[in-house]
A and B are shown apart, each in its own frame.
Chain A
Amino acid sequence: MTAPPVGQPAPSMGAEHAKLRRERWAIGIVAVLVAALTFFEAHLAAVGGAVTFSSNIVIFALINLNVVFVVLLIFLVTRNVFKILLDRRRNLLGAKLRSRLVLIFICFSLIPTMLLFIAATNITTTSIKSWIGGRVGQALTGAIDIARERLEEEARALSPAAESAAAGLLGTVDPASFPRVLESSRSLAPAGTALLFFEKDAEVARDGEVPPAVRAEVLTRIKAVNGDGDAKGTLIGDEFAAAWRRTPGGVIVVAVRSLPPAEAARIREITKAYDEYHQVRLLDDPIRASYVGILILITLLIVFSASWMGIYLARQITVPVQLLAEGTEEVARGNLDVSLDYRSRDEFGTLVASFNRMTADLKAMKGNLEETNASLTRTYDELRRRTQFIETILDSISTGVIVIDRHGRIAMINKVAERLLRIHTDGAVGRMYREVLREEHYEAIRSLYREAGEAAGGQVERQVELVVGETRIAFRVSLTALRDDAGEYMGLVAAFDDLSQTMRLQRVLAWREVARRIAHDIRNPLTPIQLSTERMQRKYAAVHAEDPVFAECTEAILSEVNTLKHLVDEFTRFARMPVPRVEEGDLPVEIRTVVETYRTSHPGIRWEFRQEGPPRLWFDPVQIRRAVTNLLDNAAAALGERGSVTVTCTHDESAGRARIDVADDGPGIPLGDRGRLFEPYFSRREGGTGLGLAIVSAIANDHGGTVRMRDNTPRGTVFEIEFPAHPPAMEKTGSMAPVIDDGGREI
């Protein structure tokens, strides 16, 4: 399974990244536009001068655009801030770090900006107040008063010339006389003075040069002079000073002098400053409000720009961190196909590139490991298969094998060894063999190991007798020290062969030979003895009729001869066990017949017969009846006149096995006798031949089966004969069946 690489994986995540990128661009462009428009609008007034209506529309459009952009900037930044807060509440990865960084940026920008804003506002307000409320006003008023006085004085200085000209025109309005009058008045006028004659708001004569603007202003002023008849006055302007006199004839004589350009400029400056001062004083509050508004705008711009910068920088930090965290999580989940899509020239870019290289290396290493693991698995499977093969072989042989490594731990032990040595410990493999084996067995192996160390080839084979359970059993122990090619000790292999069966068979064969010879040697003289004794009774009974000794002795001889014959018959039967004639029959019927016989002969005992499974199977009815008879005979002898015997006939068709259980509740068999129980001529019963159980064992063996003895619950003994229910592959006649005790061990 290949997970999508982190960074460019899921479409939703990619769309989110694109959206964030677009927002970033939008915020940047809006911020630049706001700054540019603000700058342009602030300088438009100075550039534009007189503004037309269309320009006003443009300006208002720009203002509105600026406001829209500011609102958009606020919206975008606010949206991002809310998004960060929402992410933090959702405990998204990196949200806390991002919100902390943004908060720090906002604080670091907001605090100095607000301080700057407050300081600038105070400075502006204080400056305006000090400017309009202090001595500036008085100074400007004084300056304009001085300028006015200066011009008035200048105008008064022109009055003589105007008076003289008016006097010259006294009583006449003849234009022909105007040049003469002007000529005569020139001497009274200061240098640079022009004389003008106006009649009915029109210039009728002039002496001297006057700038057109000054002449037009003078004419406007003259028009404002109301009244008729004799009148005079002065006129002042920022470029001139004049004195006028109206003659009775209606002619207005004006003596005007233009100020030098520098002086006129100074007066204009004073007038302008005076006007500005009063305007500022009048518009004090709106000016302050305007400045505050501009400062607020700048403050907002700084704050939101800083906030956005904080968001941007926080994202620059948290995005790669988040990507790395997600990538690490994916790697932890086992996905090594993770590839982070983040490119940057900073340290985060290097880190992400290193992460990608690391995952690629891990993936390659994982591939190698998997290949190695597969190879190891194959090797392990092969080894396990071989080990199982060896274990199967070891389990199928009758030799107990224990493999011990160089550290003394059991590396392998087959079931035969466990059974022979009665090792019931689970998990013996891997444990120290000293802990697993009994002390005597351990010491035996240690002793043999020492011998093996001294023996050539590191191998030794001995026959030892070990106590297993309550029985001393003869084993042939073969111990081999394992060494590698370099001769280093690797461990040892101990093989145990149970010799008791072999020895028992040897004993049985010996006993059979003894029995055959005894039967042969004893049977021959018995008949002459019997015949002779009977002849003596017939011939000398009458002679010794009064002497009972004769009769008693001959009867005793005959009785003992009969006993010896019976014994010889038993020996003969044991020595010559016939080959079983297996045929299909009804096993329960045969056994029930035997049981019924004993029920009749031993009424004090409760005889019970049970049957399980199909009745028909293959067996030799004569020998099976004899084996059951022997077992029931032993049971009746053990019980005396009271007790119960239960005979169970079981046929497990699926397993193809038949079993006959004979259970009594008698006193049981002592542990010490159990090892020799099935040996011939071993009997604890008075008058017993010791051949009953030996014959049972021989019959079971001839049927390819086994006979076992175990304790009955709560008391007594159970003998089990188990044999195949189908025609068995017969072993050679005379062999003994494996006899298994209650621990499952052959005895």
Chain B
Amino acid sequence: MRVLIAFFTLTLLGLPPGSSLAGPPVPGISEISGTIRGGEARVRFTLRNAFTPEMVEALKSGIEISFKITVEVERVYRRWFNRPMGQVRYTRSVRYDALSRVYRLHRDDGDELLADVLAALDRMTRFEVVVPVTGGVEKGKPYRARVRARLDKVGLSEPLRSIFFFSSLWDVETDWARGNLQAP
């Protein structure tokens, strides 16, 4: 038993120290803006550092990459709890069609074909999401949008899916980002 404990201790000590300190740029949500009016809020934001070079290469190799976006809208109170007004989960994916040599962007409202990877990446990182809200919207009052994005799935081909079923090739997930909405 003592030998086992020593073994596990040495194993833990043998881990490379600070391995998580110097990593790639952290993905995040920025430039959150929008308006809330009537029964909906229109939220715009940009997904930064979501695609690593490996992911871009995977995209070019025909691997489908999908992001799931969660957008929440809430009324902000200064001395009370914020009030949730609406939430939308939105999925956007992109896949390269080697036969027709186009990037097929799939959105909830339909597909879009893009000729090159830069256009595809641009479309995958710029969002404008409409969030249905409940409750009245008062002019000039503070409203806020909370956005989080994470890599939903990586569409591997069938044989590879059986190999990497239990592992995530890339782990992309942003923290919750907040931005104020205009209530004109």
Contact = CB atoms under 8 A, between A and B. Distances in A.
Contacts of B81: none
B159 interface: yes
Interface string A198-228: 0000000000000000000000110110000
B61 A278 contact: yes
Given A274-B62, A276-B160, A220 B111 contact: yes
B58 interface: yes
B110 A278 contact: no
B3 to A, nearest CB: 7
B99 A147 contact: yes
Nearest to A148: B99
A78 B4 contact: yes
Taking chain B's interface residues, is the majority helix, strand, or loop, or is none over half, making it mixed?
mixed
Given A147-B99, A220-B110, A271-B99, A46 B162 contact: yes
Given A45-B165, A283-B160, A82 B3 contact: yes
> Which of B97, B156, B160 has its CB near the most chain A CB atoms (within 10 A)?
B160
A279 B58 contact: yes
A279 B166 contact: no
B98 A275 contact: yes
B169 interface: yes
A224 B104 CA distance: 10
A59 interface: yes
A151 B110 CA distance: 25
A41 B63 contact: no
Interface of A: 41-42, 44-46, 51, 59-60, 63, 75, 78-79, 82, 144, 147-148, 151, 220-221, 223-224, 235-238, 267, 271-272, 274-276, 278-283, 286-287, 290-291
B112 interface: yes
B166 A59 contact: yes
B98 A281 contact: no
Contacts of A287: 160, 163
Contacts of B161: 45
A278 B99 contact: no
Contact of A281 (B54, B61, B100, B162): B61
B129 interface: no
B99 A267 contact: yes
Interface string B152-184: 000011111111111101000000000000000
Taking chain A's interface residues, is the majority helix, strand, or loop, or is none over half, making it mixed?
helix
5 contacts: A151-B99, A224-B112, A275-B61, A282-B57, A291-B163
B117 interface: no
A41 B166 CA distance: 9
Given A45-B165, A59-B166, A290-B167, A279 B160 contact: yes
B111 to A, nearest CB: 5
Interface in B69-125: 97-102, 110-114
A283 B169 contact: yes
Nearest to A226: B115
Contact of A290 (B4, B97, B163): B163
